[in-house]
Amino acid sequence: MVRPKKIADIKPILTNVAQTSHYQVFFDGLSRDLFQFLGTKGVNRRFITENAGLLCNQAVIPGSSLATTDIFGNFTGVQEKFAHTRQFTELSLQFYVDKDYKMIKLFEHWIDYISNGSEKSSPNVRKDDLGYFYRMRYPRGSSGYKCDKTKIVKFNVDYRSEIEYTFFGLFPTNFASTAVQYGSSDVLRCDVTFSYERYIAGKETSLSFNVKRSENIEKARG
């Protein structure tokens, strides 16, 4: 039976909600050759691992779904549905662009690195050659283009609680067009879409496993 509730009963629930503006992104685990390549473009390791995540002003925490198939005939007159594949949505991030344009260089040349395998096999080839062609690099190894681990940590304003997402095998698939215009000035932003292999919701460090707090496991209460 539905019973009327007092404001005093509802207020603690409605005032205890998470806010959208407290989070941080962490890039880590790029390959050795990719770090070196980006370094030649003026994007050093410190900017990637420390500063790039702080310039992320908008993130869409992705979800997942289950692809299913219909089964007929196990039971007379009954249609069943079974899951066969877990599917992950793409990750969309928006970044502020720093005055040195390192943020644009990071993703522009990360995508360039993925597709410049022809330059590795033929050192004398140049992009302004009429016969230039693109060859994709191998995704893994010391010269791979996938990021081993990327984290989004969503925390509350009081820092008492948080939820963490770790993405494996992440790399940019779309670096959106960046609009510039005359008129009133605004902060320059760039939008990037990432693909990845899978993610883990919750902590996944060795320490979290050892203390049995990985993947959002609640600490046992005595």
In a domain, 154, yes or no: no
Residue 221 is predicted with a pLDDT of 47
Query: Confidence band (pLDDT; 50, 70, 90) for 36?
Result: very high
Give the model's confidence band at 77: pLDDT under 50 very low, under 70 low, under 90 confident, else very high: confident
Structural domain contains residue 4 = no
Are 35 and 145 in contact by the 8 Å Cβ rule? The answer is no
Domain count across the chain:
1
Q: Which of 10-19, 22-31, 198-207 shows the lowest mean pLDDT across its residues?
A: 10-19
pTM for the model: 0.77
Average pLDDT over residues 170-176: 92
Mean pLDDT for all residues in the chain: 82
Assess whether pLDDT exceeds 80 at residue 108: yes
- What is the extent of the structural domain holding 60? 19-66+82-147+169-198
SS3 state at 115: helix
Residue closest to 104 by CA, chosen among 151, 42, 49:
42
* % of residues, the chain, pLDDT over 90: 29
Give one word for 29, left, alpha or beta, with left for phi > 0 and alpha for psi -120 to 50.
Answer: left
Distance CA 64, CA 153 (A): 18
Q: Report residue 222's pLDDT band, with 50, 70 and 90 as the boundaries.
A: very low
Q: Residues 150-164: what's their mean pLDDT?
A: 72
Q: Is the pLDDT confidence value at 171 over 60? A: yes
Would residue 105 count as lying in a domain? yes
| Average pLDDT estimate for 112-128 | 78
Tell me, yes or no, whether 142 lies in a domain: yes
Residue 37 lies in a domain: yes
Looking at residue 114, its pLDDT comes to 93
